[in-house]
Amino acid sequence: MQIEIDRNSGFCGGVIRAIGQAEASLKSGGRLISIGEIVHNEAELNRLKAEGLETMQLADLGGMPGPEGNEGVSLLIRAHGEPPSTYELARSKGYRIIDCTCPVVLNIQKSIREAYARTHAAEPFGQIVIFGKIGHAEVLGLVGQVEGDAVVVENLDQLKAALEEGKILPHRPVEIFSQTTKSPVEYGELCRWLSARMVYPRLLTVHDTICRQVASRHRELEVFARTHDVVLFVAGQSSSNGKVLFDLCKACNIRTYRIGGEQDIQGEWFRRDDNVGVCGATSTPRWLLDRVAESVKNLQ
């Protein structure tokens, strides 16, 4: 068999930056607690845990004691970002904040605040719509910029329902944004559908907020999946980007398998002379792709 690792797979810039900041902070000493998983990959989380990184869920932050006793304890805000209320709560508990919000996400947060000010400058007010996964940390961070006053839809069916239920009013200004890791094709379909239903299409403003790194991976992965006999897609179970990119690979190549690591590989997936491709999500570490490729080699 021939085995190739996709050279475009592996951490995106935002995750590399967050992990770099976490490792630098851990080296300088003191406790470091990430609010939520710093990266949606169990293997990389275990590696960072061994270096001392702790993880706390946002829901638990309010119940933490403080501010006494939290001197020298740092809270890490991951690349997904957080709503302003999280920063206020963390400060009230006496934590030092290490803000690793990806610059791309910070820009979208700013754009949403500006869009909200525009659409709410005069009555009748317009609306902010976000195409993203309900409850996802990045989406919560975006919705938090406008104090929750945004309509979140996960797919075209939910957009249709929002219009039917009057949550989106087609005769008023609408500004739509996407979570950075959504499918560019799906976002395009959604926006075209909405534009066709607006009483005045010019009242719809579409913000191109899918991360460039993610958008280019969609195009590159399509080619990668089509040009290999078997595709091993490596991603953590909770990776939202992992689900989107796996579905894309599977649609291009029926012999695509999603695995968490080398322990999930099954020998019966392969035939002699297969050309095997190993790829992953923006949250999949490069070292894990190397390990998977090595394990496939050892099957021969």
Residue written as token pair 């219009």? 163
Tell me the closest approach of the beta carbon of residue 106 to ligand SF4, in angstroms. 9
Tell me the C-alpha distance between 44 and 103, whole Å: 22
Residue 30: name the closest of 90, 77, 61, 76 by CA: 76
Beta strands 256-259 and 230-234 are parallel
248 binds ligand SF4 (CB under 6 A): no
Number of residues binding to ligand SF4, judged by CB under 6 A: 14
Tell me the closest approach of the beta carbon of residue 89 to ligand SF4, in angstroms. 23
Tell me the C-alpha distance between 14 and 270, whole Å: 34
77 binds ligand SF4 (CB under 6 A): no
Q: How far apart are the first and last CA of the chain?
A: 8
22 binds ligand SF4 (CB under 6 A): no
Q: In whole angstroms, how far apart are CA 90 and each of 106, 113, 235?
A: 18, 22, 30
14 binds ligand SF4 (CB under 6 A): yes
C-beta closer to ligand SF4: residue 48 or 105: 105
Q: Single out the catalytic residue among 44, 138, 154, 262.
A: 138
- How many Cβ atoms are within 10 Å of 220's Cβ, its own excluded? 15
279 binds ligand SF4 (CB under 6 A): no
Which listed range, 12-20, 124-132, 151-159, 287-295, lies at the site for ligand SF4 (CB under 6 A)? 12-20
Contact predicate 140/83, CB 8 Å: yes
Tell me the closest approach of the beta carbon of residue 263 to ligand SF4, in angstroms. 26
Site for ligand SF4 in 177-236 (CB under 6 A): 180-181, 211, 213-214
Tell me the C-alpha distance between 75 and 79, whole Å: 13
Tell me the closest approach of the beta carbon of residue 212 to ligand SF4, in angstroms. 7
38 binds ligand SF4 (CB under 6 A): no
Strand ranges (DSSP E) for 59-173? 74-77, 96-99, 127-131, 151-153
Helix (H, G, I), strand (E, B) or coil at 23: helix
Tell me the closest approach of the beta carbon of residue 274 to ligand SF4, in angstroms. 31
Eight-class DSSP state of 78 = -
Is 138 annotated in the active site? yes
Contact pattern from residue 100 through residue 139 relative to ligand SF4, giving x for each residue in contact according to CB under 6 A and a dash for the rest: --x-xx----------------------------------
103-119 and 13-27 helices, crossing angle to 10°: 120
C-beta closer to ligand SF4: residue 239 or 256: 239
Residue 277 backbone phi and psi in degrees, to 5: -110, 135
C-beta closer to ligand SF4: residue 74 or 282: 282
Residue nearest to ligand SF4 (CB): 14
C-beta closer to ligand SF4: residue 32 or 108: 108
Q: What H or E segment, with its residue span, contains residue 3?
A: strand 2-5
Residues contributing to the site for ligand SF4 (CB under 6 A) = 12-15, 79, 102, 104-105, 180-181, 211, 213-214, 282
Q: Enumerate the active-site residues.
A: 138
